[in-house]
């Protein structure tokens, strides 16, 4: 198919947000985070608010790209059920091309229930359904070879193994690649991971993922970027949550502080940043602008329930965060 700017790959899910009335936080060493939530066993729990929308990394990133004016298609898998049809209709409303969305009868669509508590904390109950059955045979390579960019959101479980197939196809067809790998992709054989990253134009990681990839403590940014720059010939991004972001192109290190705003929900904020950066970079080929668009897109996402409601629109004015830039000579960036 002609005239596709960007194709996104990743999961598709239906997200349901609930705020239970009587939800009790519990502090206990039995929880990994030392905190948990508690309900009375066998009781009915009233819900104050409920909201639902499509989610999943593949659809969330597609929503950013189409909102920024790019002709965007999503490639993924949903169940042959009501929820799957809801997702497809939701994507159509955004203007996302759904011609390449596959349906699977043997497993229901991915489903998430997000239990909201006071503040930004939430607990997510996840059913990993049809998206995990997505494989190489379901990708319509012949119909997407004219795309300009591929964006790979996290591909969980067994679907991680098709990452290399997609990246190799992109390389052979002169398609640029942005990769935001999840734990399953980063857990592939080391040689395979490095081969994939060596063909990527933009690599998007959070602190934990960057640390996992390099086996270096995430506080040691200088060492992390030195190692990643030796693998990735393109742009490497490390998001740091409320502390902001650091970006390396192998020659310069760009840093920006976090932007603090009233947070309603942080679902999809990472997807909003990664896709926002790529959208900004495609538009102006300028890393500073890409960071500014990504940061604002992510912060705007935080102001609404769900991963898509707060995304910036094409031409929408926004306040630009200050970006610092310093030279990296021989990978000796002075990371502050």
User: Mind listing the pLDDT tens digit for each residue in 159-196?
Assistant: 999 999 999 999 999 999 999 999 999 999 999 999 99
Give dist(CA 286, CA 231) in Å, integer: 22
- Length of the chain equals 336
Share of the chain above pLDDT 90, in %: 74
Tell whether the model's pLDDT for residue 277 goes beyond 60: yes
Q: In the block, which residue shows the tokens 């929880």?
A: 31
Contact 9, 152 (CB under 8 A): yes
pLDDT digits (tens, 9 = 90+) for 202-212: 999 999 999 99
Could you tell me which residues are beta bridge partners of residue 255?
246, 324
Q: What is the mean pLDDT of the chain?
A: 92
Give CA torsion, residues 118, 119, 121, 127, to 10 deg: 70
Tell whether the model's pLDDT for residue 321 goes beyond 70: yes
Closest-CA residue to 76 (of 64, 53, 60): 60
Give dist(CA 26, CA 83) in Å, integer: 33
Confidence of residue 334 (pLDDT cuts 50, 70, 90): very low
Q: What is the pLDDT of residue 336?
A: 41
Contact 98, 87 (CB under 8 A): no
Confidence of residue 119 (pLDDT cuts 50, 70, 90): low
Once rounded to an integer, what is the mean pLDDT over residues 284-310? 92
Model pTM score = 0.93
Confidence of residue 265 (pLDDT cuts 50, 70, 90): confident
**What are the distances in angstroms from CA 287 to CA 157, 244, 246, 324?**
32, 15, 11, 11
Could you tell me which residues are beta bridge partners of residue 256?
245
**331 versus 209: which is more confidently predicted?**
209
Which domains, from first to last, does the chain contain? 6-200+267-275 (3.40.1190.20)
Give dist(CA 325, CA 336) in Å, integer: 12
What DSSP designation does 188 have? S
CA angle 103, 278, 176 (to 5 degrees): 75
Q: What is the pLDDT of residue 335?
A: 43
SS3 73: strand
Complete DSSP assignment for 265-330? --TTHHHHHHHHHHHHHHHHS-HHHHHHHHHHHHHHHHTSSSSSTTPPPTT---PPPP-EEEE-ST
Confidence of residue 2 (pLDDT cuts 50, 70, 90): low
């Amino acid at each position: 198919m002609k005239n596709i700017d960007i194709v996104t790959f990743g999961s598709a899910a239906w997200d349901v947000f609930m705020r239970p009335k009587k939800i009790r936080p519990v502090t206990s060493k039995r929880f990994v985070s030392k905190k948990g939530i508690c309900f009375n066993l066998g009781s009915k729990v009233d819900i104050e608010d409920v909201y639902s929308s499509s989610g999943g990394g593949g659809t969330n990133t597609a929503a950013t790209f189409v909102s920024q004016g790019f002709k965007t298609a999503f490639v993924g898998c949903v169940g042959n059920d009501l929820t799957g049809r809801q997702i497809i209709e939701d994507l159509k409303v955004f203007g996302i091309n759904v011609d390449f969305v596959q349906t699977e009868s043997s497993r229901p669509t991915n489903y998430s229930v997000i239990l909201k508590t006071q503040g930004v904390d939430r607990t997510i109950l996840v059913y990993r359904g049809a998206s995990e059955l997505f494989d190489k045979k379901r990708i319509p390579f012949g119909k997407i070879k004219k795309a300009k960019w591929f964006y790979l959101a996290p591909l969980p479980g067994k679907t991680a193994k098709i990452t290399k197939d997609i990246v190799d196809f992109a390389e052979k067809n002169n398609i640029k690649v942005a990769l935001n790998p999840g734990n399953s992709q980063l857990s592939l054989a080391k040689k395979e991971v490095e081969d994939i990253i060596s063909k990527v134009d933009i690599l998007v990681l959070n602190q934990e993922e960057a640390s996992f990839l390099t086996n270096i403590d995430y506080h040691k940014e200088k060492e992390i970027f030195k190692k990643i720059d030796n693998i990735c010939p393109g742009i490497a991004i490390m998001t740091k949550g409320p502390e902001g972001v650091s970006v390396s192109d192998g020659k310069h290190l760009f840093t920006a502080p976090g932007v603090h705003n009233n947070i309603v929900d942080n679902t999809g904020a990472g997807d909003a940043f990664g896709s926002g950066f790529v959208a900004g970079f495609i538009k102006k080929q300028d890393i500073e602008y890409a960071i500014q668009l990504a940061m604002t897109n992510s912060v705007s996402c935080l102001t609404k329930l769900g991963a898509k409601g707060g995304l910036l629109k094409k031409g929408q004015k926004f306040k630009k965060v200050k970006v610092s830039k310093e030279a990296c000579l021989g990978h000796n960036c002075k990371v502050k």
